[in-house]
Chain A
Amino acid sequence: MNYYSRRQYHYRKRYYKTSSGRQQPKGRTIKTFDITSYIKNEFFNADEITFIRIANLYRQLYGYEAYKYMINTFVSWKSGFVGLSGQTLYRILVCVPKFLSDEKRFYILKCEVIYFIEELHLKQQRKYISLSQLNELFENYAKEIDNFNKINLSWFVDKGIFNETEIRQFLDVCKYALNKKLILSYQQVLNDLNLIKTKLSSFKQGSFDANYQIDFLFSKVNLLNINQTTLDFVQFNSHEIKLDGIFKQFAEKYILDELMKIEFTEKEGEVNRFVNSKDLDFFISQYYEILNKNNEASLKSEFKGGGGQLYLSLEIKSLKKIHISLFLSVAKLFLYAGLFISAIILFFVFQLYKIFEILFFGGLIGGGILLGAISTEFKTIKNLNLDLKRYGK
């Protein structure tokens, strides 16, 4: 599959067209760089010397007829009067990058590598896991980064646009940055979870509902068992890079930009975690205040931490009210049972069984209602007993 059709395939798979014809992302998708437009633009605005070089290579690769057609149609293509065919576009994609400045060639390579890295990143997202699977989730991603190699970018090597060394060097830079981000996210997530665990340590299992969404992986972790789970810290290997070659200067600048972003994310995460800790303290203090006043309430919160978002729900049930409800349910149960037994006695005393219709409908409807009520009260008593165990001090 050639480059052009491969990218088209991705577009078809991931994007829909708007009325204006522009490709728009559907949901959470990869931010793409339109390499075709970029190279077309460079081709149509090339200076005279560069254009001659491109044209010579075009002639060398595709023959005189194709060259002649390209020269004759160039102005019409540029003005948009004649559209570029898929084949011509493919040929331009092959020829133009070889004559661009190192900076522009690096820009194309950077966008392409980032496209594949983003694709890898997207595959690791949107998972729902338990707390015990957290380390596995990050370890799997780290392995994917390690295994990502230039095979994914073979088209550029086959067409001689970039050589293997150039691709490998920049790929190493991207893998280094991605690995740094992954490690930072892991540390932030573990810091958040340790904080949450400390704050929720006084809560019994089942008395709260909590989920944590990891920002970097866009995945959710179920925290129901956080107090029963030990949070183990896994050490990830840091990638080492040695920058050299013609793209060294640009790669250094790129890695510096990435490091600055990582630094900002780290500091922002610390701020968020600090505010989150304060908010969580206040939220829990309010929980106990309401509980001590024997009120009943549902408390829900969404707090942004260092590496993700905590969704915490607490249910406040007054023990006094649970006891009253239990007493009421038992009273109701006896009442319904009494009514049921009385109905049966009355049935025989007044010999209602002789009237078939009354026997049938009375027995079916009245008995059904009473038995239903008895069953409901049994369930209520069972749930109230469970609440007593959960919320009892």
Chain B
Amino acid sequence: MENNSNNQLVKLDNTKLIETINNLNLNDNEKRELVKQLISNDIELLKNAKQKLADSGVAQGDISNFLAELAAMSKKGMYATTTLEAKTGSGKITMQFKGGDTKLIIPVLVILAIVIIAVLIIMFWK
């Protein structure tokens, strides 16, 4: 079932439909209109495909830049909770980064524990 078209755009082939149009009992004008519509659909599809790929390219650039900035901030120990939303060709991506500095909590806890233990020792030291 795996289709090999994952990595390349589908070739637009209207041969079958044009053959069907020619076989129908339609006048030349109607046939011409239908073929024109087919071609116009293909042009629209290609236009949309290009636009979607361009949108994805822009979104990828935005996200890469954002991550680079975030990495730089993180090195300085400055990063906080932040959200990024980017529109891609096929939809959207939302990234939420969780900030906070855990380095601060450890010394606070250690000091607190030492103080409590010291108080207990003083109280019960006889």
Is chain B a partner of chain A in the same complex?
yes
Residue positions of A touching B, CB distance < 8 A: 190-191, 194-195, 198, 231, 233, 249, 252-253, 256, 259-260, 263-264, 267-268, 270-279, 282-283, 286, 289-290, 293, 295-305, 309-310, 321, 324-325, 328, 331-332, 335, 338-339, 342, 346, 349
Q: A191-B3, A264-B41 are in contact. Are A300 and B26 (CB under 8 A)?
A: no
User: Which residues of chain B are near A310, meaning CB under 8 Å?
Assistant: 91
Tell me what chain A mostly uses at the interface: helix, strand, loop, or mixed. helix
Q: Are A194 and B49 in contact (CB under 8 A)?
A: no
B25 close to A275 (CB less than 8 A)? no
Q: How far is the CA of A335 from the CA of B114 in the complex (A)?
A: 10
Once A and B bind, how many residue pairs between them come within 8 Å at the CB atom? 154
The docked-state distance in angstroms from the alpha carbon of A272 to that of B112 is 57
Q: Mark B92-112, 1 if CB is under 8 A from A, else 0.
A: 111111100010011001001
Cβ contacts under 8 Å, A296 to chain B? 97-98
Residues of chain B from 16 to 59 with CB closer than 8 A to chain A in the complex: 17, 20-21, 24-26, 34, 37-38, 41-42, 45, 48-49, 52-53, 56, 59
> Do residues B116 and A279 form an inter-chain contact, with CB atoms below 8 A?
no
In the bound complex, residues from chain B placing their C-beta under 8 Å from that of A298 are 95-96, 98
Main DSSP-derived SS at the B contact region:
helix
Q: Does A278 lie within 8 Å of B74, measured CB to CB?
A: no
Task: Give the CA-CA distance A364 to B63 in the complex, in Å.
Answer: 52
The one of B37, B48, B96, B123 in contact with A271, judged by C-beta atoms closer than 8 angstroms, is: B48
- Complex-state Cα separation, A275 to B48, whole angstroms: 11
Task: Place the interface of chain B in its size category.
Answer: 35 or more
A11 to chain B, nearest CB (A): 34
Chain A residues near B67: list those with CB within 8 A: 286, 289-290
